[in-house]
C-alpha cells in the first residue's frame, strides 16, 4: 500500500555578510539542503523560483534591506547572437567540447587556480584547496556534468584545457553553476563563448532555457549578462523579459522587504511524493 506525503524541506537563513557585488550592502541567504531520492524534483522546482545550487545546498538571496539580485535565464528558442558574439564563436572554433561526469581532475584544479589568481585573487574562493575544489565539483545529488573545452597548443603536443564549466541539467534547461577559463586567452572572450556554447547544448537537448545565475543591476561584474538577448529575470514571483536593464531599480527600503516566514510560505514546492 502506498501513501502520498508532501515534500516539505526545512529552510534556514544565513547571518548577514558584506555583499560581494554592491558596496556598503550586506547579503543574507535563504537556503535548504538538497539530498535524498527527491533532490532532483526539489532542485527543478526551486530553481524556477530563483534558487541556485552550491554542492548539496539550494539558496536564494534574502537580504533584509535590498532586492538587487535577480535570477537570470536565456530563452533558447528566441536567442540570436549579436555580431560581436558571432565573432567570439568564430574566434574559438579551434576548441573541442567534452562533457564528462562530475569528477575533479588535477588539470581542472590547476586551471581553476590560475583563473582565480588573475581574475578573483581577493575573492572568497581564492584560498580553495584541491579538496574543496573536488567537493564543489563532485558533491552533487542531481544530474550534473563537467563541460571541458580543450585545444592543441601545437600539432605535436597533447591537448590543453582552455575552459571548464560545472553544469546542472534541469527538466527545462541547463544551469551554469560555475565556469573558469585560461587567463592567457583573455582576448578570446571565453566567458561569453561558454554561454553561447551552452545555448547550443540546450538547443540540441530540446531544453528551453540556459540559467546564468544572478544578475545584479549596478554591479559592473554582472553587466556581461545583459549582452545576451532573449534574457529573462525572476521578479516578483515570475519570469519577465529583461528588455530595458537600465530601468530596473531594486527596492532598498527595509519596510518593503517581506518577512522570512512570508517568503518561505510563498515558495511553491513539488507535488506530493509516494511512499510505501
Q: Residue 188 has what DSSP assignment?
A: G
pTM of the model: 0.91
Task: Give the chain's length.
Answer: 276
Integer Cα distance of 187 and 167 in angstroms? 24
pLDDT one-digit tens code per residue, 210-266: 999 999 998 888 899 999 999 999 998 999 999 888 888 777 776 778 888 899 999
pLDDT-derived band at 123, boundaries 50, 70, 90: low
- The residue extents of the domains of the chain are 3-69+249-275, 73-247
pLDDT one-digit tens code per residue, 57-73: 999 999 988 888 999 99
Q: Which three cell numbers stand for residue 214?
A: 544572478
Asked if pLDDT for residue 2 goes beyond 50, the answer is no
Q: Tell me if residue 74 falls in helix, strand or coil.
A: strand
pLDDT-derived band at 1, boundaries 50, 70, 90: very low
* 73-247 carries CATH number 3.40.630.30: yes
Integer Cα distance of 76 and 230 in angstroms? 8
| pLDDT over 90, % of the chain | 65
Amino acid at each position: 500500500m502506498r501513501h502520498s506525503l508532501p515534500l516539505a524541506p526545512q529552510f534556514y537563513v544565513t547571518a548577514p555578510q558584506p555583499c560581494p557585488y554592491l558596496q556598503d550592502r550586506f547579503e543574507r541567504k535563504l537556503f535548504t539542503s538538497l539530498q535524498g531520492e527527491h533532490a532532483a524534483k526539489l532542485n527543478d522546482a526551486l530553481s524556477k523560483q530563483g534558487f541556485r545550487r552550491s554542492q548539496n545546498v539550494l539558496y536564494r538571496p534574502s537580504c533584509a534591506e535590498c532586492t538587487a539580485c535577480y535570477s537570470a535565464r536565456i530563452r533558447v528558442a528566441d536567442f540570436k547572437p549579436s555580431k560581436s558574439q558571432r565573432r567570439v564563436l568564430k574566434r574559438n572554433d579551434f576548441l573541442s567540447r567534452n562533457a564528462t561526469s562530475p569528477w575533479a581532475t588535477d588539470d581542472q584544479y590547476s586551471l581553476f587556480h590560475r583563473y582565480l589568481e588573475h581574475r578573483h585573487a581577493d575573492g572568497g574562493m581564492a584560498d580553495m584547496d584541491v579538496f574543496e575544489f573536488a567537493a564543489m565539483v563532485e558533491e552533487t545529488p542531481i544530474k550534473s556534468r563537467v563541460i571541458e573545452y580543450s585545444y592543441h597548443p601545437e600539432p605535436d603536443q597533447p591537448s590543453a584545457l582552455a575552459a571548464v564549466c560545472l553544469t546542472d541539467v534541469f527538466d527545462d534547461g541547463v544551469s551554469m553553476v560555475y565556469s573558469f577559463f585560461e587567463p592567457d586567452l583573455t582576448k578570446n572572450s571565453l566567458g561569453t563563448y561558454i554561454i553561447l556554447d551552452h545555448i547550443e547544448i540546450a538547443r540540441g537537448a530540446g531544453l528551453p532555457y540556459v540559467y546564468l545565475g544572478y544578475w545584479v543591476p549596478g554591479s559592473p561584474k554582472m553587466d556581461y549578462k545583459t549582452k545576451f538577448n532573449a534574457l529573462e529575470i525572476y521578479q516578483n514571483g515570475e519570469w519577465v523579459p529583461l528588455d530595458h536593464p537600465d530601468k530596473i531599480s531594486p527596492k532598498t527600503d527595509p519596510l518593503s522587504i517581506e518577512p522570512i516566514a512570508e517568503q518561505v510560505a510563498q515558495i511553491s514546492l513539488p507535488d506530493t511524493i509516494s511512499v510505501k
